[in-house]
Chain A
C-alpha cells in the first residue's frame, strides 16, 4: 500500500487586505500539488484571492490542556486594556 501523501494545512485570504484564515487541509506530494488541490477543494465558489499551504508537520501548537498555565502571564494585566483607566467627566474624543 502506498504511503500517505503529506498533509498540508490550508489558509485562505477571502479578500485582498484581509488576513488568511485556516479552512482545513489537503494531501499533496509537493507544494505545487498541495496548492492546486487546495484551490480545487476550497475555492470552488470564489472563496479566495490568495492561498497559503503549510506542511502540517511544520505547525507548532500550544497544548489546549495546558492553556490555563500557558496564557496565565496576561491574566492579571488589566492595565493593558483601555477600560482600566478613569477618564475625567466631560472629556471627549479619548
Chain B
C-alpha cells in the first residue's frame, strides 16, 4: 500500500491496524503521542498517591486507592497499544528516564492539600476526558480501543473529584477557602493541558490529516471551559480568570490568555516537581528489578521441570 491508498483509507474513516502499511511519520507520531499519554497516566499516580495515607476518611481512602489503581491500568492499556507499533515496553520506559519522552506537565505541580484531590479529579481528569472522548475516534485501531475502555472508567474519576470540591465548598469557611485555593492553582495548568494554541502547534497539521487527532488543541480547550464554568458556579467557586465571560455571538465562553512562559518552563523540566517525579519513577523501577528477574528465573525453572 502506498501513501495515497493509506490516505484514502483514513479519509473513508477506516481504522489502521498494527500489521497494515503506514507511513513512517504516522508510526513515529503515534509512538510519541501514545507513549506520552501512557507516561502521563503512570506519573499521574504520584500526586494522588501522596494523599492515600492521609485521606480524611476510610471511604475517601478506598476511592483514592481505586482511582490510582485505575491510572496504572490506563497506563498499561496505552503501553500495550504503543507496543503494537513495534516498540518495546523497556524502550518506552528508557525514553522516559532519559527525558526523551515527555508526560503531561500538569503532574509536575505539587498536591498541597486534600482539596487538590478534588481539583485534580474534577479539572485534570475532566480535561483528560474531553481529550480522550475525542480520541476514541482516532484512526489507529489499538489506540482507539484503548480510549474507549479508558473513557468508560474515567467518569468516576471526575465525579469523585467534583464531589470532594462540592463538599469542601459547602463546608466551613476554611474548607471553602481550601477548595478555592486548589481551583486557583489548578485552573491555568489544567487548561494548558490541551497544549499550545493551534497556530503554535507545528504537529497539528499531520495529526489532523491522518485523523490521529480529531479536534485541535483550541477546540478541545474551548469545549472543556464551556463545560466547566457552570460546574464551578453550582458549587459556589470562582474560576480565577477576570476575562472569563459568556460570548453570546460565539456561543462559547471567552477567556484570558495563558502564561506560556510558565508552560514551556515546566515542559522543559523546570516545574516545581519535575525532578522529584522522575527520580521516584526511576527508583520504583530499579527497586522492582529483582522481582522481574526472579519471575523470569522462576518461569525458566518451571519450564525445565515440566519438559
Contacts and interface: CB of A to CB of B under 8 A. Distances in A.
Contacts of A23: 149
Contacts of A7: 83
A10 B89 CA distance: 17
A49 interface: no
B70 interface: yes
Given A7-B83, A25-B80, A30-B302, A2 B293 contact: yes
B83 A2 contact: no
Given A1-B90, A24-B80, A65 B296 contact: no
Interface string B46-82: 0000000000000000000010011001001100110
B299 interface: yes
Interface residues on B, range: 20 to 34
B19 A61 contact: yes
A34 B77 CA distance: 15
Interface SS, B side: helix
Contacts of B298: 29-30
A2 B299 contact: no
Given A44-B70, A63-B19, A1 B296 contact: no
Interface residues on A, range: 20 to 34
A24 B80 CA distance: 7
A65 B1 contact: yes
A4 B94 contact: no
A71 B302 CA distance: 42
Nearest to A9: B80
6 contacts: A29-B295, A29-B298, A40-B73, A44-B73, A64-B20, A65-B19
The 6 closest A-B pairs by CB, nearest first: A30-B299, A29-B295, A29-B299, A29-B296, A4-B88, A25-B80
Given A44-B66, A65-B19, 7 more contacts: A2-B289, A2-B293, A7-B83, A29-B296, A30-B299, A30-B303, A44-B69
